[in-house]
Chains A and B, each alone.
Chain A
Amino acid sequence: MNKELANFIRELKKDFKPKKTDITTPVSCWFEKDLLNDKVVDAFVIIFKTRGCSWALESGCSMCGYFNDSLWSDVSDKELLQQFESALKRYKGEKFVKIFTSGSFLDDNEINPIVREKILKKLYETAEKVSVESRPEYITNKSLEKIKKIVGLKIFEIGIGLETADDDIRENNINKGFTFNDYKKATDIMKKNNIKIKTYVLVKPPFLSEKHAINDAIRTIEKIKNITDIVSLNPVNAQNNTLVNYLWKREQYRSPWLFSIVQILVEGKKILDDKRIKCDIVGGGSIRGAHNCGECDKNYLQAISDFSLKQDTRVFNNLKCSCSEKWLDQLDLEDLGFGSLAKMYE
């Protein structure tokens, strides 16, 4: 572990106070298009308010600000179920449900196994596929045992934030707190239990140039192509109280260009072949998120979103903007600048 990095991240959260909110309603829930058995369907999304990601409470990842939505104090089983009840009021029987907790759904400290089972049982009454997220340390034969029974022949998917296949970057740029080997072990267990693997790949961790970030993402995809079932790119955006935000405010970090994401998607698609690669961009087109010049962002975001569903790289064919020269300049020059060129055109 990079203690210096971990301490710095911890220090940035020192004065953070969770906002006072209604514990009986979820952070948010909504509908979005996604694929289920190769068909575009409406998926139902719930984000639970929990005590927060155990790792984030310990120190946390350099780019992750989801703890801002967490309560940082225990949430009772009753309150979690109340949140679930509240979300169900909007649920219209969608076949695909995604659950986020801003942490790990399989972490017993975040969600009591009894609550977890109740939620899943209820959802699988109607849903064909439920997707959750977890750090690898909570993915064990034991934790999956009961879930498997509830899932039956339906689909259960766990998303793991591997971020990069490079242990050095994961340790020294992200402070992720686990290794590629931990990921590998967790996915082996998932495979044995017939659970779908979604792997999150981070686009542009801090302290990497745009060019290195692209290369790192592509190398990561190459390395996990035979492990994962689906790759989901996560372009970094500057979220409050994070190291990335600290750098961003000092103009030492720029979220990736949309061109970079397109390049990774195109290269990634070649590598993954019929496996799916997608990208949901948080804060896309804003100065804190992945963006281009501002003029062309909308078109690129639309194309990326289209691609994520259609998996057809031809959606990028007709896109063009003169700001791509600036992006190419940055790829070309940034590594000569000792950090000076992180935001060379802003």
Chain B
Amino acid sequence: MQFNVKKSDELSRIGELLINDKRIVTPNILSVSTNRFKAFDKADIILSNNKVKTNKPVFKFLQTPLKLDEFFFYHIDEKTEFIIIEYTSQLFKKSKNFVDLIINLRKKIGYEKIIYTPSIAMPSNLALLCYMGIDLFDTTSAIIAARNKNMFFADGEYSIKDLIELPCNCPICNNINKKPSELSFEDILNHNYYMLFNEVKQVRNIIKTGNLRNYVEKKVKTNPLYVTILRNLDMNYYEFLEEQTPVVSNKTIYATCSESFSRSEIKRFQSRVLNRYCKPSCVKILLLLPCSAKKPYSFSKTHKFFRRAILDTVNPDIIHELIITSPLGLVPRELELVYPAANYDIPVIGVWNEDEKKMIKTLLTKYLSKNKYEKIIVHLPKGITSFIKDVIKKPIITCIDSPTSDESLEKLKITLQESMVGFEKIDRYERTRQNLESLACYQFGKSIGKKLLKDTKIFGRYPDLMIIENSKQLGMLTKDRGFISLTLAGAKKIESSEKYRVEIADDFIPKGSILSPGILNADEDIRIGDEVLIFRKKSLIGIGAAVMNGLDMKKSSYGEAIKIRHIL
């Protein structure tokens, strides 16, 4: 038997289990087969202690006596090497212990082992469990629900006596001519099986799209316990989740509930803006702007108005635009293409809740203590201005009614014009270079960022910009990635840095991609999507994009680690 992870999305993954030439995709559900219960027809795998006549794989786990020292514990099946959680149903109710056990277990065993949680999977919680990285489940909860005369729904279970009609179009509900209250145990059980297996397919599809988190945030709302589990996970294991979260992605974040604010992409973005990013040094005037529904912001109609007002002034490049937004907080204009600044959506009704206010005030205060400006102009709707005013020294307010009204825009233009009197004219090209330097600081950290952009010129039309030094291209910003992609020359320029380095073995010639077994060492700060400098025998031989994080590059025994972009 062999297990390979085919696709990961944060902690969740699609895996492939090879058992005697049969391929089983995970996450999956073991269908119980006993004297009393026949396995579900559509199941891929059977769980049984009996001899079962089937051509499907049958798992039989040897149950060792339950351990005493640690009552919530796991057990490694000798034959399959599956990690099986003991007393799962009891543990599951203790959300914090459950999260602690599963996550610490995953940390300990790595990503190549299968975790099986018996008896807890339901259509309502399967997404959450898979999001935590659990791979296998079974059908016992469908039996228990059926015995209690409860039908599985996508969001939970409902008693047949409360239903006025059969709930779905599964073959049972579709082909049976009975009232819900007249359903037999077998009818309910089969319906429950269908619902459970539908859900696992759904979850697999969503993992494939790389956006399980949006779905999980929706599904956990069906039970406070599930929300508690998700919150515990976000609160206590941010670092671990963050390690598995790509820095480059096209998926859209729907920030529709309070849990969305704790997403690792969002927390990481906020932390990098405060800790890695530094504003272009030439800018002197800060302009605070609202966000737009369309992303990247500058492609939107409203931001085109703002840009026009800025460009109409005599010294537009002395102005630094900072977008105030929820849930990201602060997005400097130079970062608007970065994930997730270019990929989020949030319901806007013009009223900010207290958590959002607090988050923005905290971030802005910290930001302003690190990035100094001569003047701060606030061109924001009243709803925002009212609560950020007190963290800004002498704010100049330019918004009269709506930020995009003719009056407001006119006032903005005049105010900008007035406020730049006395400042030296900033060179357009130098400003563009500094913009990319700021972005590079966000992407690589300050020292690499500054080194990379030193003595360079920027060519191209935003957002497609090339970094050129002595007529050699060092890298390029694309709208697609929102990050700078390096050339070999770019990599050469920053090769003395310790960060974003990967050392590969010298017994192969890399082509196309590098697999993790070929990696000797990797910077642990590397995230999926990052640019990585490829070294062999201590000399730079290429540049590529990370497909797994640095830690996994070192630890994994299989899988693609780096997609090579350029190689010597």
Contacts and interface: CB of A to CB of B under 8 A. Distances in A.
Contact of B140 (A207, A328, A336): A336
Contact of B118 (A5, A251, A332, A338): A338
A333 B68 contact: no
Interface string A5-41: 1001000000000000000000000000000000000
Contact of A337 (B37, B48, B93, B118): B118
A328 B36 CA distance: 8
Interface string B460-481: 0000000000000000000000
- Interface of chain B: mostly helix, strand, loop or mixed: loop
A328 B37 CA distance: 11
Contacts of A250: 71, 87, 90
Nearest to B88: A340
A327 to B, nearest CB: 11
B184 to A, nearest CB: 12
B84 interface: yes
Interface residues of B, number: 34
Interface string A236-258: 00000000000100111000000
B147 A326 contact: yes
- Chain A contact residues (Cβ within 8 angstroms of B): what range? 20 to 34
Interface string B41-71: 0000001110000000000010101101101
Interface in A155-185: 172
A138 B49 CA distance: 44
Contacts of B49: 335-336
Contacts of A337: 89, 118-119, 140
Given A8-B68, A338-B84, A345 B147 contact: yes
A337 B89 CA distance: 9
A335 B60 CA distance: 11
Contact of A336 (B75, B87, B90, B138): B138
Contact of B88 (A4, A335, A338, A345): A338
Most buried by B among A4, A252, A337: A337
A338 B86 contact: yes
Most buried by A among B85, B90, B138: B90
Contacts of B68: 4-5, 8
A280 to B, nearest CB: 29
B148 interface: yes
Contacts of A247: 71
Interface in A44-86: none
B321 to A, nearest CB: 55
A279 B28 CA distance: 45
B148 A339 contact: no
B247 interface: no
A336 B138 CA distance: 10
Interface string B72-94: 00010000000011111110010
B90 A333 contact: no
10 contacts: A250-B87, A252-B90, A325-B147, A333-B143, A336-B49, A336-B118, A337-B89, A337-B118, A338-B87, A342-B87
Interface of A: 4-5, 8, 172, 207, 247, 250-252, 325-326, 328-329, 332-333, 335-342, 344-345
Given A340-B88, A345-B144, 10 more contacts: A207-B65, A250-B87, A251-B93, A252-B71, A335-B63, A336-B48, A340-B140, A341-B118, A342-B90, A345-B147
